[in-house]
Each structure stands twice: as structure tokens, then as C-alpha cells.
Structure 1
Amino acid sequence: MKTAVDRSAPPSQLLLALEARGIWELQAFFASYPLLRRAPRGDGHPVLVLPGLSASDMSTRPLRAYLKAQGYAAHGWKLGPNHGPRPGVEAAMDARLAELAERYQRKVSLIGWSLGGVFAREIARRTPELVRQVITLGSPFANEPKASNAWRLYEVLSERRVDDWPDRDVMKLPPPVPSTAIYSRTDGIVSWWGCREQPGAQTQNIEVEGSHCGLGHNPAALYAIADRLALPEDDWSPFDRSGLRGLVYPDPDRTENSLSLLWPRASAA
């Protein structure tokens, strides 16, 4: 008899409790900052960073400060707390993207944390001519609606049902720009299986060790972001995890391991 992991279930309560690691990951960010500054430098192009559910630009301040130090024009979304796709939010994000593209006369890279990454992919789908690339951080764009420990909060804040998002099948498809999904198998908020891009010529999955709440300042995630943003606009290539990097970045295509014991189990098959 074989018992499979239920990929449609939210992370276990143990993983949810381990989200407290986000505080330690912030401390690790400050401790590793001198090393992070050795990451590839930027070319000055604009970067728009979108926060996760219930979070505001305050949550992405460490990430944006780091990107500015690396040579990017990093900006927040300026829409207050992210309460989901409420009326006017999508139009406001599109306007923010257009404003930055016009100001800098360059395409804009989009970084979205959790729900912000779902938004980023859909913005790129609507206006690919303005987007240089998309990077998501623990974004459940391919998840089942309730494969999350935050779906009830989503319904309260957005005032809509979690399974009412239109075109869910389209959401799972990569946007028509280079796209990188950064995620953690020990994410305690959303199921990591739904945070991965489909294989493609300009898509990639990068796995890091850590929590969901710490992804925006996780040192490994930030280094990977800097590496991706430094790519020439018309010369995208996959993230290289060979050599010593393999000690920091696990193989995202490896089979399920002992971590699966932390996940809810489906019925025996």
C-alpha cells in the first residue's frame, strides 16, 4: 500500500508554526548583507515589487533597499495593504507599471511575493510589452484554491470567495515574458507544489530553504533575485546552481523526500 501526499491540502500545522523562522531570516539578511553585495550588479532598470496578502510596501522595504544598493530603480506598488483583487486594484497596478515604464523609458521587472506574484504574472500577461521579466516568491498561482492556510483571510480581506478567481487554468500558464518562481518546500502558508512554473524556454524554478513569511528577505532568495535581474534584457538564461551553489539551492526537480512527512497524506493507494 502506498500513501501519497495530498497536493491539494494546505501545509501542516507544524509547518505553519515554523513560519516564526521569518524573524531569524531577517536577522540572517542583515548578517549576510556584505556577501549579498557581491551578487551581480544592476543596470539601473526599474523594478516594481508587489507585496503579499494583507502586507504593504513596508514588508518589501528590505528587498527594495537591497535592490537599490545593487543598482536598480526599485519601487513599491503604493496601494497600501494588499487586500486581493478588489475593484480598481488591477487598473491601479497597470497604471503604476505604465508610469514607471514611461519615467525610465525601459521595460520594468516585476517581483511579487505570494499573492503579489499572482498579480505580477497577470500584469505581464496583460501588458508584456512593458515587462522585462517576472520573479515570484512563494506565489500560489497553480494551487488548488484552498491549498493554503490563508484562504479564510483572503476571503475576509477581498470580500470574495477564494475559488471565484476567473480563468484559473490560464493563471497556471507562464506569462509571455521570462519568469522565475522562487519557493520553499517548507512553506507553511501555501502548498509549494502550486508555486512552481511549468517547464519552458524562459521559465525556471529555484528552490530555497526557509519560510513563506521570510522569502522577501531570505538571503538565498535575494541572491537569486539579483542574479536574475542582472541578465541582459534580450539574453535570458537559466540560474546556474552548479558547484558550491548546489549546497544552497536544492535540485527543484528531485523526488519527494522526508520533508513530505510534514504534509497531509491522501488515502492509501
Structure 2
Amino acid sequence: MSQAAYSVDPFAEDASLIPASTPIWREALFPLEWLALRASPVYWGFGVPHGSGEPVVVVPGFLASDASLVELYWWLARIGYRPYFSRIGRNVDCPDFQTGRLRETVLRARQETGQRVRLVGHSLGGMLSRNLALEHPEDVAMVITLGSPFRDAVRAHPVLISAAATIRSYAGRGAARNVRPSCFSGHCTCTFVKNMLMPGEWQVPRFAVFSRQDGVVEWESCVEDDPALNDEVHASHLGMVVHAGTYRAIARRLRMCSAGSG
């Protein structure tokens, strides 16, 4: 869609995005959640099923980079998996473009291990993972989303709406060079948005971790219709990636994907 197609400034805060009244103050608990993880036996690999070298790619959320998933990355290594960072850079570019970059990492992981890849994505990273799995199920063995609003991506906390508007205002520059006026809005018609709103038939297992204490996105947007595919944790949105309950859920779901699924 061209910029001329908009009757209002396309870089302004998008009226198609619906502000969500989530308790964002809970995100201040993130440091405490990180400390609690370090004190948990789960952090050291006790009390959770282990892997056997299966490849797992971790994908950061909106505005974040792989650095946000360092704890998760090394924990996966400790419990027997072969983790990979996404290598998509800071997650602020066009989601379709970022999915293409993610696939490069997935293809490398598959070539190095000879197995289809497990994807664990936080927030927008989980949505990128779902998009990739829908488009290229031959490369993906499983998707686990962490606080990813794949059911209703147009609902967001006002802070995120403002951030999306800022990124669109810098479209074509730096890390957001592929962002178009419709990106991060309800106007976009790209493959990514199609796969979020009207996904095709799933060919790979997918699971969703969510929290009713999420201060950034509405938890109802982060769950599958089938309750058996969901795991509830008691974490903030940011803290979900450093939460012992999240790690237990990830370990259990990964174990469900056998090593012979390559």
C-alpha cells in the first residue's frame, strides 16, 4: 500500500490500533523475576526434562535483540539442547523482512544438525515464529510462543502504539529501513498479517505460554482455542523470558517433540 493511499499522516499513531488497559506497572517486577529464576533449581536444569542436542532458535520481542534472551539461550544449552540466536538484529523492522532473516538462521541450524528446528519466540518474536512455521513447515518442528498476541495484534498498550508510530516515522533509516507506512498497524496486508489473522492449516505443533499479569499485551490475545495447547505462568511480559514457570513449560513442551522429528 502506498503512502498516498492514506487520508491521514501514515506516521501518526494509528487509529486502527486499539489501546489496551494492561497493568504496565507490573513490568517493574522484571528484576525480581530474574533474581527468582537464578534462585530456582530449574535454572540449573533440575526437575525438568532434558534434550538430546535438538536445535532451538530463540527469537526476541518487539524492540528487543538477541541479548534479551541470553538467559534462555544458555539455559537451553544446560538442559541438553543446541540453541541458536535468531540473528535478526533489533526487532524493529518489517515483520515480513524479519521472518526472512529468521529463516536464514533456521536453515543454518537445520543444515548443522540435520533436524527440523524448534522455535521459541517472545512477544513479536513468537509471531514471527508462527509466520515462518506456516510458510515453511518443512523447516520447523515446533513453535512455542511467550506472551505473543497472535489472536488480536491490533490491541496494544499505548506505549507500544507510540513506539510503533516512532518506528514508522524513521522508516527507511537504520534498523527500520524496510518499514513501510502500514507496518505495525491494522492496515498492513503482508503475508505476516495474513498468517496472524487468517492462518492456514497448521502442520507443526504449536504451544502458547501466557500470563494474566502481562502488563504489555492482553493475555486473551496470547492463547490458543484449545486449552491443552496453553501454559499459564505468573509473570510480567518482560519477565516471561526469565521466569522459572516459563522455563518449566518450555522444557515440557520441547520434550514432547521427539528427537526423531528431523
- TM category (shorter chain) comes to 0.7 to 0.9
SS at match of 1:164: coil
| C-alpha contact 1:146 1:162 (8 A) present in aligned 2 | no
Q: Name the residue aligned to 1:163.
A: 186
Measure, in 1, the Cα distance between the counterparts of 2:134 and 2:96: 19
Q: Name the residue aligned to 2:78.
A: 69
- C-alpha change, 1:156 and 1:87, in structure 2 (3 Å) is farther
| C-alpha contact 2:122 2:147 (8 A) present in aligned 1 | yes
Q: Output one character per residue of 1:212-235: Cα deviation in whole Å (capped at 9) or x when no partner.
A: 010011100011101111124389
Find out whether 1:152 has 2:162 as its counterpart: yes
Q: Name the residue aligned to 2:29.
A: 21
Q: Name the residue aligned to 1:40.
A: 49
TM-score when scaled to structure 1? 0.76
| 2:256 pairs with one of 231, 236, 244 | 231
TM alignment of 1:23-172, pairs within 5 A: 23-33=31-41, 37-38=45-46, 39-85=48-94, 88-149=97-158, 150-157=160-167, 159=171, 160-166=183-189, 168=193, 170-172=195-197
| C-alpha contact 1:122 1:175 (8 A) present in aligned 2 | no
Query: How far off its partner does 1:163 sit?
Result: 1.2
Q: What amino acid is aligned across from residue 255 of structure 2 in structure 1?
A: A
Identity over aligned pairs, percent: 30
CA RMSD of aligned residues (A): 2.4
- C-alpha change, 1:93 and 1:34, in structure 2 (3 Å) is closer
TM alignment of 1:171-210, pairs within 5 A: 171-172=196-197, 173=199, 175-199=202-226, 204-210=229-235
SS at match of 2:220: helix
| C-alpha contact 2:55 2:83 (8 A) present in aligned 1 | yes
Measure, in 2, the Cα distance between the counterparts of 1:35 and 1:62: 9
Query: How far off its partner does 1:148 sit?
Result: 3.1
- C-alpha change, 1:50 and 1:175, in structure 2 (3 Å) is farther
SS at match of 2:52: coil
Q: Output one character per residue of 1:204-258: Cα deviation in whole Å (capped at 9) or x when no partner.
A: 011111100100111000111011111243899xxxxxxxxxxxxxxxxxxxxxx
Measure, in 2, the Cα distance between the counterparts of 1:11 and 1:84: 26
Q: Name the residue aligned to 1:261.
A: none
SS at match of 1:142: coil
| Structure 1 residue runs of 4 or more that deviate by more than 4 Å after TM superposition | none
TM-score when scaled to structure 2? 0.78
Measure, in 2, the Cα distance between the counterparts of 1:60 and 1:233: 24
